[in-house]
């Protein structure tokens, strides 16, 4: 949500918008974590899955963040549009 | 370590990479990876995704900071505003049916994708200025 808002409303260059968004997610995710658990009661987490998912995702996030500077703004915009479009259609068709 | 664990690492790698380049929270990709790929229930996938997002965003976010990709002030404002939004969102989410939320969210994403795509196309179709005469 943060990426399109920055680019479409605030004319932020795509590279900065993507990076800003990931930084802003850190406090948001930290705040959402206790809210989710307190409101939902018993935590529904598969720690085994989380562990292996994170083992891959931190390496992926590091590599992706380092590569970002090399991707032209236009191609980055197209990639964001494709991912948002696919996930958006999925949410509309199979909510 | 089983094949399933290896697939989880590969799935995490892909989701993390897109998170680092595209800037979306891992949740957008972690949840479908777990529900479609590993048949986890939506509730477990969402809870697990929230746990997985934190280290992913910290590693990606700090790498962006070191690479000079971040505009500090807007990022701080968004982070602060997002925390307030997360609290309000959590309260609203309890009252509104999940399918309604998903459809509103889906419509926002599709509209954003359309406008971003249009912007990218317009950037390539900018008219070439006529040559200066005289």
Complex ipTM over 0.85: yes
Residue B134 inside a domain? The answer is no
The verdict on B28 and B57 lying in the same domain is: yes
Mutate to test the interface with A, among B34, B78, B118 (most CBs of A within 10 A): B78
Give the C-alpha separation, B21 to A19, whole Å.
8
| Tens digits of residue pLDDT in B8-24 | 899 899 999 999 998 87
Expressed as residue numbers, the domain containing B38 is 1-71
Listed in order, strand segments (DSSP E) in B27-122 are: none
Instruction: Say which of B32, B40, B46 has its CB closest to residue A49.
Output: B40
pLDDT for the residue B131: 64
Residue B81 burial (CB count, 10 A):
13
Give the C-alpha separation, B134 to B120, whole Å.
34
Residue B117 inside a domain? The answer is yes
Mutate to test the interface with B, among A48, A60, A72 (most CBs of B within 10 A): A60
| Tens digits of residue pLDDT in B62-84 | 999 999 999 999 888 988 998 89
Residue B133 inside a domain? The answer is no
The verdict on B63 and B94 lying in the same domain is: no
Q: What is the Rg, in whole angstroms, of the alpha carbon atoms belonging to chain A?
A: 16
B85–chain A nearest CA distance, Å: 8
CB of B35 less than 8 A from some CB of A: no
SS3 B81: helix
The count of structural domains within chain B is 2
The verdict on B4 and B40 lying in the same domain is: yes
| Tens digits of residue pLDDT in A71-81 | 998 999 999 99
The count of structural domains within chain A is 1
Give the C-alpha separation, B49 to A46, whole Å.
9
CB of A90 less than 8 A from some CB of B: yes
Could you identify the residue written with the tokens 């989410």?
Answer: B93
The verdict on B47 and B101 lying in the same domain is: no
Give the C-alpha separation, A39 to B133, whole Å.
70
CB-count burial class (<10 Å; 0-12, 13-18, 19+) for B61: buried
Q: What is the Rg, in whole angstroms, of the alpha carbon atoms belonging to chain B?
A: 20
Expressed as residue numbers, the domain containing A11 is 2-93
pLDDT, chain B, mean = 84
The verdict on B8 and B61 lying in the same domain is: yes
Give the C-alpha separation, A43 to B76, whole Å.
29
Over 70: is that where the pLDDT of A8 sits? Answer: yes
| Tens digits of residue pLDDT in B43-53 | 788 788 888 99
- Which residues of chain B neighbour A28 with C-beta distances below 8 Å? 25, 79, 82-83, 85-86
Give the C-alpha separation, B116 to A8, whole Å.
7
- Residue B134 is given by DSSP the state -
Residue B129 inside a domain? The answer is no
């Amino acid at each position: 949500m943060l990426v399109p808002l920055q680019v479409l409303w605030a004319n932020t260059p795509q590279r900065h918008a993507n990076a800003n968004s990931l930084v802003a997610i850190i406090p948001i995710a930290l705040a959402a974590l206790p809210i989710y658990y307190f409101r939902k009661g018993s935590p529904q987490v598969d720690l085994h899955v989380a562990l292996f998912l994170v083992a891959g995702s931190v390496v992926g996030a590091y590599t992706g963040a380092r590569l970002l500077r090399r991707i032209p703004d236009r191609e980055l915009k197209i990639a964001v549009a494709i991912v948002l479009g696919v996930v958006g259609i999925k949410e509309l068709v199979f909510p | 370590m089983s094949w399933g664990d290896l697939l989880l690492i590969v799935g995490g790698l892909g989701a993390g990479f897109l998170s680092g380049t595209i800037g979306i929270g891992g949740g957008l990709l972690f949840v479908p990876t777990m529900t479609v790929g590993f048949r986890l229930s939506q509730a477990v996938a969402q809870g697990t995704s929230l746990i997985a997002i934190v280290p992913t965003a910290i590693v990606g976010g700090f790498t962006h900071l070191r690479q000079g990709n971040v505009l500090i002030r807007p990022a701080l404002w968004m982070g602060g505003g997002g925390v307030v939004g997360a609290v309000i969102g959590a309260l609203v989410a309890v009252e509104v049916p999940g399918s309604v939320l998903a459809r509103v969210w889906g419509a926002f994403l599709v509209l954003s994708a359309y406008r971003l795509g249009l912007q990218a196309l317009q950037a390539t179709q900018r008219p070439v200025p006529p040559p200066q005469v005289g």
